[in-house]
Structures are given as C-alpha cells and as structure tokens.
Amino acid sequence: MSFNQPNSTKNIHKLSIAPMMDCTDKHFRMIMRKISSKALLYTEMIVAQSLIYTNKKENFLNFNNEEHPISIQFGGDDPLILKEAARMAQDWGYDEINFNVGCPSPRVCSGNFGASLMKDPEKVAKCINSLKNNCNLPVTIKHRIGVDNDDSFMHLNNFVRCIANAGADRFTVHARKAILKGLNPKQNRTIPPLKYDVVKKLKKINPDLLIEINGGFTDIDESLEALNDFDGVMIGRSVYKHPLRWSDIDQKIYKIKTKAKSASQIIFSLIPYIERHLSNGGESWDICKHLINLVEGIPKAKIWRSQISNKSIKKELDIEYLIKLTTRLEEMGY
C-alpha cells in the first residue's frame, strides 16, 4: 500500500532548527521550545541500521510531547532498513522524516551515506521512495549543492528533480558543497564559501518545489530576508551557541503577539522538567550543558556559567542552587 501524498502547504516550515550531532538532543529541543512554539525541531541524525538492530529503541526515539512539531532525521542507504525505520517513526509519533544526504563526516561517508550519496541520485531516490511508501508522514531531504567535483548546477538540478520524482516533500539545501577528503566536519561547515545564488537559481527554475535554505544565518533579520526567496530557513550553530538571539522567532517570523522570554524566565519554566529528569536518574549536566548558552552578554555571565557548569559536572547541582542563581539573573533583569 502506498502512502504517497502530494506537496502541500502543511509541509512548509518557515524556520527550523538544524539537526546537529551532540547538540539537538531532547533537552536542547525543550529549551528551544520555550523560545519558540512554532519552529520545526529536529533530532540528531539517527543511523537507521543502528535503530533497527538495537534492543533499546527508546534511546533513539524518545522525545517529549511538548517538542512538536518535530522531525526525525535518518541516515542510511538501505531501502529495506529505511522501510522499517519509517514505520517506527510514524508509530512513535514524529511529525515528519528527514533523510540526511548532507553530512560530510568520514565515519558517515565510509558507511556510504550522508553527503557521499549525492553521487548516486538513483539510490537516494529508492531510499526516499521506501520512506514515502511506508508511512503517511512528510518525507524531506537535507543535502548540499554538490560533492567534491560533482558540483555543477546541472548535477544539482538533476539530483533534485530525481528526488522530487521519488516523492520528497521538501528540500533543505546547505548552500555549500561538501568536500569528502582533506576537510574535517568542522571545516566543511565553513569551507568552501556559501553560494546562496545557486540555491536561488534552483528555486527559481523549480517553483513547484518547497526549498529551504541552510548555512550561515546568524540572526532573525537575515532569515526574514531569505524568506523572500525561499520557502523556509534552517539555522544551526548560531541558535545553539546563542539561543536568546533568536528569542523573537514567534513574533517576527510567525507574527504571533507574544513577548520574548528572558533567560531567567526560560530557566524557571524548565525547573519541573529538570526535576523530573533528575528524579528519573538523569544527570543535571545532560541539560545544563545546553542551558548555559542562554546566559551571555550580561554582567558576570562567565561567572554564572562557571558556577552552573562546575556544580553540574561534579554532580553537586540541586534544584535549590539552580533556582538561587536564576533568581539573581531575574533580579538583574535577565
């Protein structure tokens, strides 16, 4: 039975928070949900094969109900395994599935998935088709503008049209090519230069496709400008390192009449969640390693972060201490 559905406005997300390894876990996503009620959140990339063969699937799949809308990102190259992964994602309650064809990590590429798959659009099409035919969720794809020497516009456009024909609902395009040899993953986030014009051309000649731009956006105003040309904007490292700089997402992007929250308001609102996590055997650093990024650009911010970090890493941080330090922030107007 086929679950294929045509593209529709329901698959448009004006702003999304990129999947980032070791960053976008459920705790960071809870922090971001306090900042924006509307932005699309992503899991870290999950290797489909690892999901299928583990006995602890909940470690990969669990998320908090408050995180919706949320997309699960899969990496892989086997349509049969992705078939099972798609069914699990739907059964678990995710809002959509994203397929990773953009990660340049040597470990990922050695498994013949991630950015290396852009060199084999027919295989990617089979993977997308398998995901589409085994769930009723939107299936999207994240990719680069090219890989190594396969970086012509014709190659990119042919890749996108091939994947569109396989049923992809939305394309998130990182506007720089991936270099699989000679650069590490960190370098691949900044080298070579971004080429927004290439993605603009892709959208212009494919107006029927939903195309989201990714790469290098550092504030909301840049994102708003990009929305004049694209259906959506995906932001990554900037929102992870400086989450409060994005506190006006709902107001400016989604036109919701609400006040942006301060760092202290966000932390206070997370206290019940942190208490539950600790009572279930979790460690405070699981959350605080993300939480400390909320406090920057204010007097004694470094001291505040150091106090939280030291106590948390030593497993000495309790809720009372966190409330005490957060109250100091509140009294300072932060």
Contact status, residue 163 vs residue 129, Cβ threshold 8 Å = no
Percentage of residues in the chain with pLDDT exceeding 70?
91
Residue 13 to residue 170: CA distance in whole angstroms: 10
| Torsion angles phi and psi, residue 191, rounded to 5 | -125, 140
Instruction: State yes or no: pLDDT of 111 exceeds 70.
Output: no
Q: Residue 170 is inside which H or E element, if any?
A: strand 170-174
Contact status, residue 166 vs residue 186, Cβ threshold 8 Å = no
DSSP string, 222-260: HHHHHTTTSSEEEE-HHHHH-GGGGTTIIIIIS----PP
Instruction: State yes or no: pLDDT of 1 exceeds 50.
Output: no
**Domains of the chain, first to last:** 11-253 (3.20.20.70), 263-331 (1.20.120)
Residue 151 to residue 177: CA distance in whole angstroms: 7
Cβ neighbours around 246 below 10 Å, total: 25
Q: State the Rg of the chain over Cα.
A: 20
Torsion of CA 311, 314, 315, 320, to 10 degrees: -20
Query: Which residues are paired to 326 by β-bridges?
Result: none
- Write down the pLDDT at residue 304: 94
Residue 177 to residue 194: CA distance in whole angstroms: 8
- Write down the pLDDT at residue 192: 81
| Window from 22-26, 91-95, 240-244, 297-301 with minimum mean pLDDT | 297-301
Instruction: State yes or no: pLDDT of 162 exceeds 70.
Output: yes
> Which residue among 23, 103, 109, 135 is the active-site one?
103
Classify 76 in phi/psi space as left (phi over 0), alpha (psi -120 to 50) or beta.
left
Q: How far is CA 244 from CA 20, 32, 99, 197, 218, in A?
A: 18, 9, 29, 29, 12
Instruction: State yes or no: pLDDT of 7 exceeds 70.
Output: no
With bands split at pLDDT 50, 70 and 90, how would you rate the model's confidence at 32?
A: very high
Structure tokens at 93: 């309650």
Cβ neighbours around 135 below 10 Å, total: 21
Taking only the tens place, the pLDDT of each residue in 66-100 is: 999 999 999 999 999 999 999 999 999 999 999 99
Q: What's CA 198's distance to the chain center, in Å?
A: 22
Query: Which residues are paired to 141 by β-bridges?
Result: 99, 171
Known active-site residue 162: no
Nearest-5° angle of CA 103, CA 130, CA 174? 25
Largest pairwise CA distance in the chain = 60
Residue 221, amino acid: D
| Window from 73-77, 187-191, 229-233 with minimum mean pLDDT | 187-191
Instruction: State yes or no: pLDDT of 189 exceeds 70.
Output: no
DSSP 178: B
- Write down the pLDDT at residue 180: 82
With bands split at pLDDT 50, 70 and 90, how would you rate the model's confidence at 107?
A: low
Nearest-5° angle of CA 245, CA 212, CA 107? 85
